[in-house]
Structure 1
Amino acid sequence: MTTPIKTLIIDDHVPIVEAFERSLSHLNSNSHFVFEVDSATDCDSAILKIEESIKEDKSYHLFFLDISLPPSEDRKFLCGEDVGRRIRELYKNAKIIVFTHHSDSFRISNIFNSINPEGFLIKSEAGFSHFIDAIKNVLNDTPYYTKTVLELLRNNMVSDLVLDEKDRMLLHELSKGTKMKDLPRIINLSMGGIEHRKRNLIEIFNIKKKDDKSLIELAREKGFV
C-alpha cells in the first residue's frame, strides 16, 4: 500500500486552495501518488497545524505556500515567508512550493534566500497544468519554476541580500504608522539600531528621497508590506 503524502495548502484564497486540491485529486487518480490534504488560511492556523503535526508525529511532506498571508495575532509571523522559515526549521526533508503574485526580482531573491523552495510559481503565469507539473517534479526531486523565476536564475539576477525578520518587522510597523519612539519596544532594538536598519533599507532599495513614506511605498511595491 502506498504511503499517503501528507500535504498542507496554505493560502487565504478559497479558489486557489480548491485549484490545488483539484490538482492533487487529479494526481490521485492518474499517477502512483496518493495525497492526504489539509489547508490553512493565515499564519496562525498554518503554524498551529504545522506544530501540532510535529507533536503528533504526523509530519507533512509537501507544502503549498502563499507569501501574502494575514499576519499572526502576536506579529511573530508577518507573512508566508515567515511561515516558510518555520517550516524549514521543523521539517528538514519537506518540499515547499511557493505560489505568489509577487514578481519583483528583489522579492523573489529574498524568498529564495530565506526559504529556498523546491517549487516557485508566479500566480499570473501558473495554471492547472503548471500545478500538476510542479507537484510531479518536486516530488521527484526536480525543482520547478515558472517563467519569471527561471529568467532571474538564468540571468544570475538572484541577489544575496536578504531582509531578515527585524527588517520586515520594521517595514511592517512603519507601514502601520507606528511612531519611531515606540519601535524599540516592539522590535526589541535600540533606537540607534532601528535608525541603522532604516538607513540600510533605504540604501538597499536605492531610494533617492530618503524618507519613511518613500521607503514604505517602494517596500509595498516590492511586496514586503
Structure 2
Amino acid sequence: MAEKIKILLVDDHQLIIEGILSALKSIDGLDIETTNSCDDAFSKIKTSVQDNPFQILFTDLSFDNATSNSKLDGGEALIKALQEENIDVKIGVITGHSETNRVFNVIHNLNPSAYLLKGNCNTTELNFAIQKMLASEVYYTHDIHQKLLKRALVEIQMDEVAIQILKELPKHPKIGNLEGIIKKEDGSLVKIRSIENKLAKLRTDLQANNNTDLVLKAKELGVLD
C-alpha cells in the first residue's frame, strides 16, 4: 500500500479550513492535519521531522488571531522560520491576498512552491498543485501568474526617466511643470514632448485611464513606493 502524503493545513479561520478540507477529501492518498496557529504549525512540523515528516504545508499569509505572545505572527513568519531551520517541506500559500506587490514580495523573498487564491481553490487545482510540488516544480494559480507576467513586463519598460516622471507627477498640477526637472542618465533635461510621449505609453501599458490612475497602478505593481 502506497504511503500517504502528509499535509499540514494552516489558517486562522475554521470555516476556510473546512472548505479546503472538503476540496481535498476527493483526492486519494492524503493524510491531512490542521491548525489555526502558526506557532503550533511550526511545532508540529519540527517535531515530526525524524519519525513521520510532513511533505507539504499549505498556509495563509495573514493571521488575525496572532497575539503579543505569538512567536510567529503570520504565514510569512512561519515560512521564514521553516526555511531558516532548513526543514525539508514543500510550502504552498493559500490566501486571499492578490495585491501584485504583496504577491511579488512573497514569491521573490520566500519562493513558495505554490500560490493559490482562496476564492478559486477547488479539488482540481489543489490536486494539480500538490503533484507539481511533489515533483519539485512550482504552481501559481492563473491570476497570480498573470500578475507576475505583467509586473515583469512593466519592470522592463520602467527606465529611470519613467520612474522620475511617476514620482514627480503627484507634486505638480500641470505636466508642463515637469520640464526642467526630469533628467536623462547623462544629466541632460528631458523635453516636455518626450515626457508627454512617455506618459502616453505608460498609460497604455498599464491600462490607466489618466495620470492619477497611472500613479496608483504603478504603486499597486510595486514599481513605485
TM-score bracket, shorter-length normalisation: 0.5 to 0.7
Residue 62 of structure 1 aligns with an amino acid whose one-letter code is I
User: How many Å apart are 1:95 and its aligned residue?
Assistant: 1.2
Residue 56 of structure 2 aligns with an amino acid whose one-letter code is L
Question: Between the two proteins, what is the percent identity of the paired residues?
Answer: 28
- Which of residues 123, 136, 140 is equivalent to 1:141? 136
Residue 137 of structure 2 aligns with an amino acid whose one-letter code is T
Structure label with greater radius of gyration: 2
- Which of residues 88, 99, 105 is equivalent to 1:104? 99
Question: Given the two structures, how large is their TM-score scaled by the length of structure 1?
Answer: 0.60
1:67-106 alignment runs, 5 A limit: 67-69=61-63, 70-71=65-66, 73-106=68-101
- Alpha-carbon RMSD across the aligned residues, in angstroms, is 3.1
1:1-225 alignment runs, 5 A limit: 1-28=1-28, 34-54=29-49, 57-69=51-63, 70-71=65-66, 73-157=68-152
Distance 2:2 2:86 in 1: 21
Give the paired residue count.
160
Question: Deviation per CA, 1:22-46, whole angstroms, max 9, x where unpaired?
Answer: 3333121xxxxx2221111022222
Distance 1:37 1:159 in 2: 40
Question: Deviation per CA, 1:147-185, whole angstroms, max 9, x where unpaired?
Answer: 22101332344999xxxxxxxxxxxxxxxxxxxxxxxxx
Question: Given the two structures, how large is their TM-score scaled by the length of structure 2?
Answer: 0.60
User: How many Å apart are 1:91 and its aligned residue?
Assistant: 4.7
Gaps of 5+ in 2: 156-166, 172-219, 221-225
Q: SS state of the match for residue 141, structure 1?
A: coil
Q: SS state of the match for residue 27, structure 1?
A: coil
Gaps of 5+ in 1: 29-33, 161-205, 210-221
Distance 1:72 1:52 in 2: 23
Distance 1:85 1:146 in 2: 22
Distance 1:131 1:45 in 2: 23
Q: Which 4+ runs in 1 deviate beyond 6 A?
A: none
